[in-house]
Structure 1
């Protein structure tokens, strides 16, 4: 009975999405389990507000083109710290935040951060890492890197430190390039949010749409929604404004269902839309509730539940 109900539900959802797809002239439908995606191009001056909030710089790894010393400092006894914006965060024995990279894989464990990337994000050695209070030792493992060294993994995810974190408790690597996130003790991305793929949150801007991590979602006024969704944020722009990948309409709450679907971007990846408008997050937003992308360049605005750009000047 359960299997039949689920199948019927999926068929109904697919039919609804196909109808909406035809209305907006899209060529793809959302897929379940999608996560936010970012580009691999180095960041340029796209939407720089002059506040220094933009993450991801010249070399594309968030180090502003500076080469950080390669770190191989032992992890020691891992610990759990509590961060006001991120909840429980995994740290090494010195209290330094550990991170994971969206371009890695956990099944099987594989690191995609080598060369200059590994100088900005030093891999955490696996040799002496042990589980402290609140950490399941079964979560800890190791992966052999391309240079033959062993890197710590947490629930399969390779663990890193960030070169710009200067002292215990720093989380400057959170959200860099839309690909780097602090590790929770269970290997997931550290977050206070337990949210659907897209939902609505009250903020100083009013009701705005947030992603599954509770991060603010934005619209780019230079994009187009009709008769076919078109993104004009390409190449280096995506480093600062990662495209939100499609999520099923069933995995949303409070967001207008009309025009809620995915489309294919110029480079072939998939992106989510609200009211047929492409949506993004901002690499300068570090924790849920941040709205550092609001009004940047006079072209980027948070998204209301009906897909309108919040606070954008009237046409």
Structure 2
């Protein structure tokens, strides 16, 4: 039985991490580990289509700790306002309110991925613009959400909550969906032991970040394809992963991202199940990670998946 141990002290706020294992060595030849590491994380379940000019886009995504929520085309979490009404749809957030909570406006009904089209409509705002509604509720962004996977507007006051694909408040899903993040390992045929998260998903490094650089260069569209492994609060890792390798950096949006061996770590949205590593070798910049914090040999390929190269990796 694989055990976990607290790793909060190891997840320091500094980017430089002591590298206690050399690249190319892998003493952690173990399989199927899953342990807890507290975090908030955007899952890899977003689906997108291409909106036309002047047409808004709704995307179903999952923010750990909130469950399924709606985002716009850029991955910003969408919200509903208790002082609006849904039956009939009516807007109460105007003027200064609308500056902090920009409405999602559209010239025609929004394209929606993972949303019942019958729930999506438009309401005319006092200024004449058309605002997207879901389940009758007008939807908004929050000005302080600076990137995908961020939901700082959740419960800013009792009147605001992230909105689900059904038009409901996401608050009810918060306690049920919250689960700790995992930093473990598993053995993938063709690659050997690799790092995984709590769902058994393969973890990757991005060579453009640079080991020990203290920053991630993967934001926006890149971060939706390669969701960063985020941490919030106390952390634990598998007992045979050296905590001296584990650290954290602060991303541009203020969230904390786990690092291993000085590398910021990510999952891959196109890995559909535990044990897949279809991101290994993508763009000649993305590689699965060994438990010692190094990249898996680029010449290796997983038995169950073929990594498809694409410029930039996203």
TM-score (norm 2): 0.48
Higher RCO by CA contacts (8 Å cutoff, separation 6 or greater): 2
Structure with the higher fraction of residues in helix conformation: 1
TM-score (norm 1): 0.48
